[in-house]
C-alpha cells in the first residue's frame, strides 16, 4: 500500500482534456526523479459534467488522497472561490491552474501559466523582447483563464499597448481595468472583435488565448486574412500544435510560437510545486516532442 506521503496522486480538471499531454510529461519526469507519481485526467466533457461540479470534485479529492490538481478551461477562474490560500500572482491574474491539497484538506492555488508562457517565449521567440521593439503593441484574443496569464506575462515582459479582444465585451473590459491597475506604465485596452482590422496593422504581436483552434473547438479565432508578415504569432493551444492560426502565420513568414512552448513551461513549473523537485526542462521538452511525434526543433 502506498500512503499519501509516499506517492503522488494528481489530476487534471477541464473540458475536453482526455488527450492532454501534461499527465505523461509529469509522470515521465517524476520517474526520472525516483518518485511514484500517478496523474489522471478528469474530463468534464467525457464525464458529462459542467464547471459547477468543481467544488464537489475538490471535496472528493481530499477524501480520495489526491495531492494536487492542474486546472484548465473552463475552471481556472471559478476555482478561486474554493481555495483557502492563493499566491499573489494568481490573485493578480484572477486565475489558478495548479491547486495543492494539504494533508489537512486545505487548498492552495498557484498559476504557472504566466511563468510558462514567459519561459516559452524565451525558448521560441528569443528576439521578441522589449529592447528589440517587438513588444510595443500586442493584440490578444481571449480574456479568460489562459488569457489572464498570457496578458499578465506580456505586460511583465514589457508590452506597452495591449489590446484584449473578446466577444464578451464586459469580460474584456473588466480584465483590462484589472491589468491597467497592475501595470500603470502600459496601456491595456478592451477592443471589440470588429476593430481587429484597425488594430492589427499597428501591432507587432498576436496571441491567441481563446479555446478556438483546439481539437474540441476547431477553427480559426479570427479572419486569417488580417494577418501580416511583420507579426509574431503565439498560440496557447497545443492539441493540435499546428492550429489554423499557426499554419497561416507560418505560411506568411511570421515568427510563430506554437502552444507546446507554454505547455512544457507550465508543466515544468507545476511539477516543481507539486513534487518539490527541480525538473529537467530540456528533458521535458524532448519528451513533449516525442509525444507529438515531431523533432524537438519542429515540435516546440
Catalytic residue positions, numbered: 76
Helix axes of 22-32 and 281-292: crossing angle, nearest 10 degrees: 140
| Residue 215, all three cell numbers | 481539437
CA angle 143, 128, 76 (to 5 degrees): 25
Residues of the chain by 3-state class (helix, strand, coil), percent to 5: 45, 20, 40
* Bridging pattern class, strands 137-141 and 205-208: parallel
Closest listed residue to residue 97, CA positions, set 246, 212, 236, 214: 236
| Residue 59, all three cell numbers | 471535496
Cβ(23)–Cβ(17) below 8 Å:
no
Residue 109's DSSP bridge partners are 86, 99
* Bridging pattern class, strands 98-101 and 107-110: antiparallel
H or E segment to which residue 150 belongs: helix 145-157
What sign for the dihedral angle of Cα 131, 134, 136, 139?
Answer: negative
Residue 233's DSSP bridge partners are 206, 256
Cβ(139)–Cβ(205) below 8 Å:
yes
Residue 12's DSSP bridge partners are 41, 70
Helix axes of 145-157 and 169-182: crossing angle, nearest 10 degrees: 30
Amino acid at each position: 500500500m502506498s500512503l499519501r506521503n509516499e506517492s503522488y496522486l494528481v489530476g487534471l480538471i477541464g473540458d475536453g482534456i482526455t488527450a492532454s499531454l501534461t499527465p505523461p510529461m509529469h509522470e515521465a519526469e517524476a520517474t526520472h526523479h525516483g518518485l511514484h507519481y500517478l496523474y489522471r485526467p478528469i474530463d468534464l466533457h467525457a464525464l458529462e459534467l459542467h464547471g459547477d461540479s468543481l467544488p464537489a470534485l475538490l471535496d472528493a479529492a481530499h477524501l480520495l488522497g489526491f495531492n494536487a490538481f492542474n486546472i484548465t478551461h473552463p475552471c481556472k477562474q471559478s476555482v478561486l472561490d474554493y481555495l483557502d490560500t492563493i499566491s499573489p500572482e494568481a490573485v493578480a491574474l484572477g486565475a489558478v491552474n495548479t491547486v495543492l491539497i494539504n494533508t489537512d484538506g486545505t487548498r492552495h492555488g498557484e498559476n504557472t501559466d504566466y511563468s510558462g508562457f514567459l519561459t516559452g517565449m524565451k525558448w521560441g521567440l528569443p528576439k521578441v523582447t522589449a529592447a528589440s521593439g517587438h513588444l510595443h503593441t500586442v493584440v490578444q484574443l481571449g480574456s479568460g483563464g489562459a488569457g489572464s496569464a498570457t496578458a499578465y506575462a506580456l505586460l511583465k515582459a514589457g508590452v506597452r499597448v495591449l489590446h484584449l479582444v473578446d466577444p464578451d465585451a464586459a469580460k474584456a473590459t473588466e480584465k483590462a481595468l484589472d491589468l491597467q491597475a497592475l501595470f500603470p506604465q502600459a496601456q491595456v485596452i478592451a477592443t471589440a472583435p470588429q476593430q481587429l482590422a484597425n488594430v492589427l496593422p499597428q501591432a507587432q504581436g498576436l496571441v491567441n488565448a481563446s479555446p478556438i483552434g483546439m481539437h474540441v473547438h476547431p477553427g480559426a479565432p479570427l479572419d486569417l486574412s488580417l494577418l501580416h508578415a511583420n507579426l509574431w504569432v503565439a498560440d496557447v493551444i497545443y492539441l493540435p500544435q499546428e492550429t489554423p492560426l499557426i499554419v497561416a502565420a507560418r505560411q506568411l513568414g511570421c515568427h510563430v510560437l506554437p502552444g507546446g512552448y507554454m505547455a512544457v513551461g507550465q508543466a515544468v513549473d507545476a511539477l516543481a510545486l507539486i513534487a518539490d523537485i527541480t525538473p529537467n526542462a530540456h528533458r521535458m521538452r524532448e519528451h513533449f516532442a516525442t509525444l507529438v511525434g515531431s523533432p524537438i526543433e519542429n515540435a516546440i
